[in-house]
Amino acid sequence: MAANHQVKCINKTNRQSAHERISSIGGVNGDGTRWKLSLDRAIEGIEAGKWKFYVSVRGESVWVVVAKSASGRKYLKTQNDGEQPNNLLSLPECP
């Protein structure tokens, strides 16, 4: 069974661009320590059924899913929740 983890921060290759690629995601473990995963490791973990990630905004949680760009490159996004921009992209920068 996949372990659920809340994503609380991201790193992007260009923080100023709303459409730039996420390079890593991060959060806080139950014991208060921080975790951070590269985009590739997060995608591998999701596809292998090891991890499930979610984002919570204003009390609503949405799952993070793997998507594929028109060029075939895999990336992370939240399931369609009607929010623009994507809730994942609006998270603060990871330390």
**Tens digits of residue pLDDT in 6-34:** 999 999 887 565 556 899 999 999 899 99
- Extended beta strands in the chain, E state: 3-6, 9-12, 22-28, 34-38, 51-57, 60-68, 74-78
**Facing residues of 66 across strands?**
76
71: three-class secondary structure by DSSP: coil
User: Which pLDDT does position 73 carry in this prediction?
Assistant: 87
pTM, to two decimals: 0.86
pLDDT at 74 over 80: yes
pLDDT at 86 over 70: no
Residue 31 has which token pair? 């014991």
Report the phi/psi class of residue 47: left, alpha or beta, with left for phi > 0 and alpha for psi in -120 to 50: alpha
Instruction: Calculate the alpha carbon distances from 54 to 14, 23, 95 in Å.
Output: 22, 17, 19
